[in-house]
Structure 1
Amino acid sequence: MSIDTGSLDTPVGPHGDEPHDDSISSRLNWLRAGVLGGNDGIVSTAGLVMGVAGATSDRTTILIAGIAGVAAGALSMAAGEYVSVSTQRDSERAILAKERAELRDEPEEELAELAGLYVQKGLSEPLALQVAEALTAHDALAAHAETELGIDPDDLTNPWHAAWASMLAFMLGALLPLLTITLTPPTIRVGATVAAVGVALALTGWVSARLGYGAVRRAVARNVGGGVLAMAVTYWIGALIGTQIG
């Protein structure tokens, strides 16, 4: 079977950036379950306790509502992350099973396909075929999974790791607004909570931007702006409902 060579004259590009690309992918996965989970904990809990604080000044009521919100939010985050990553893992397994079957039933076609992928990366056709044959002899599934599918068969996504990371990050993030609004005097609790949450969101926005190689100012502004808006809306709703009930 002939190989679709594409552009054989394309020069081979530098490959020194490959570990860097893998590093970015790993960092983004960690950020998704870590920093973003912490952000959710900060914003959702801050919005909840600010809403209750807008309706009542009773510290116990605010604390009970906050604790309930933290527990519900953390469990929801864990469950959602587990389901999401489990679905991804099931898809990866199904794709790998399909690839195994193709390697078993159509080995020559799969070899040509793998060589064609290396040609697209810039290798000459003879060299691409030589590399494909060597990698196929070593571990055909791993070669196809990495090059064709972008999957490491020995390192599939773990739903339990993602669930625990997301839940713990949510709880840690939620502690800041909960402790701030319940431990500060009533006269300054709202302002202190807004200030503490704003600083925390600025910090997490900065960290996520730095680790993810994104724009720092944009990430910080997005985090802080969204959090402040959420607190303002929930506080206004709480004050409105509290006034009507009172």
Structure 2
Amino acid sequence: MTFMGSQGQDFDYSQRAQWLRAVVLGGMEGLVLTTLLMMDAEKVAQRTGADKNKAMLITWSVGLIAGAMRMAIIELVSVYTQVDTIAFQAERDMKVGRGGQQTWVIPSATEVAMASSLAYLLWGAAPLVAGVFVKDVHVRFSIAMIATSLSMVVLGMIGAALGKAPIPRSCARVLVGGLIAVSVMWGKIKILGFILLKI
């Protein structure tokens, strides 16, 4: 078996795939959900009469921490499932005499979980930092969306650079996928709000 982080004379960038995937996933999740949390903060402030900036800071802080923990747990469960599958498949291969015919890359569940969680925290802060001090809700959300879009492009560039992959393709994939995710989540919120008003 080849373990994550082992390195020969020519570095195999595919060994970075697991934690790099976690970084991109965590970063995108942080950007998408923090942007949507900024919208929810407005609703919380309107219903409770609380200060909008305070409501947004509290909502964002709780959401960001909870989201980072959620990403870590998801990655731990997911990677350990993969590790178990690989380990038991290796045992089966040994029993039937196929040991050594296949090289397995064993990811570190802890490293992947930490990478995803930290990426969520870091990238999730971008929309808030960009728009937290803007009082007008429409201007604030526009600034947050611009910051989110630029952050997605940067995230794509970092992912491509670390994985030695084509930068334009990576940037386009992260940006388009992220904006679609924001649109879908925003649409879901609007649809649920409309349905609940009719009930």
Task: Decide whether aligned partners of structure 1 residues 55 and 237 sit closer, same or farther in structure 2, where only a CA change above 3 A counts.
Answer: farther
Matched AA of 1:80? I
Q: Given that residues 50 and 231 in structure 1 are in contact (C-alpha distance below 8 angstroms), is that contact kept between their aligned partners in structure 2?
A: no
Correspondence 1:168 to 2:118: yes
Match of 2:102 among 149, 161, 182: 149
How far apart, in 2, do the equivalents of 1:200 and 1:46 lie?
12
Task: Decide whether aligned partners of structure 1 residues 216 and 63 sit closer, same or farther in structure 2, where only a CA change above 3 A counts.
Answer: same
Matched AA of 1:94? F
| Per-residue CA distance 1:31-72 (angstroms, 9 max, x = gap) | 112233222211222122234447757222222222222122
Matched AA of 1:48? L
| Per-residue CA distance 1:199-236 (angstroms, 9 max, x = gap) | 11111112223333444333323322343444456567
Matched AA of 2:112? A
**Unpaired runs of at least 5, structure 2:** 1-7, 47-51
Give the corresponding residue for 1:11. none
Matched AA of 1:200? S
Give the corresponding residue for 1:197. 148
Q: Given that residues 47 and 230 in structure 1 are in contact (C-alpha distance below 8 angstroms), is that contact kept between their aligned partners in structure 2?
A: no
Matched AA of 2:12? S
Q: Given that residues 45 and 69 in structure 1 are in contact (C-alpha distance below 8 angstroms), is that contact kept between their aligned partners in structure 2?
A: yes
Give the corresponding residue for 1:84. 78
Alignment of 1:115-134 (within 5 A): none
Matched AA of 2:19? W
How far apart, in 1, do the equivalents of 2:115 and 2:33 lie?
17
What is the TM-score with the length of structure 2 in the denominator? 0.73
What is the TM-score with the length of structure 1 in the denominator? 0.61
**Unpaired runs of at least 5, structure 1:** 1-17, 103-109, 114-140
How far apart, in 2, do the equivalents of 1:224 and 1:96 lie?
38
Task: Decide whether aligned partners of structure 1 residues 217 and 149 sit closer, same or farther in structure 2, where only a CA change above 3 A counts.
Answer: same
* Larger relative contact order (Cα-Cα within 8 Å, sequence gap ≥ 6): 1
User: What's the Cα RMSD here?
Assistant: 3.2
Alignment of 1:93-242 (within 5 A): 93-102=87-96, 110=97, 144=100, 148-151=101-104, 156-186=106-136, 188-231=139-182, 241=193
Give the corresponding residue for 1:46. 35
How far apart, in 1, do the equivalents of 2:189 and 2:40 lie?
4
How far apart, in 1, do the equivalents of 2:180 and 2:162 lie?
25
Question: Which structure has the greater CA radius of gyration?
Answer: 1
Paired residues in the alignment total: 182
Task: Decide whether aligned partners of structure 1 residues 101 and 151 sit closer, same or farther in structure 2, where only a CA change above 3 A counts.
Answer: same
How far apart, in 2, do the equivalents of 1:85 and 1:26 lie?
14
Of the structure 1 ranges 196-205 and 39-48, higher mean CA displacement relative to structure 2 is found in 39-48
Q: Given that residues 30 and 120 in structure 2 are in contact (C-alpha distance below 8 angstroms), is that contact kept between their aligned partners in structure 1?
A: yes
Of the structure 1 ranges 41-50 and 162-171, higher mean CA displacement relative to structure 2 is found in 41-50
Task: Decide whether aligned partners of structure 1 residues 238 and 35 sit closer, same or farther in structure 2, where only a CA change above 3 A counts.
Answer: closer
Task: Decide whether aligned partners of structure 1 residues 54 and 19 sit closer, same or farther in structure 2, where only a CA change above 3 A counts.
Answer: farther
How far apart, in 1, do the equivalents of 2:92 and 2:189 lie?
54
Give the corresponding residue for 2:55. 61
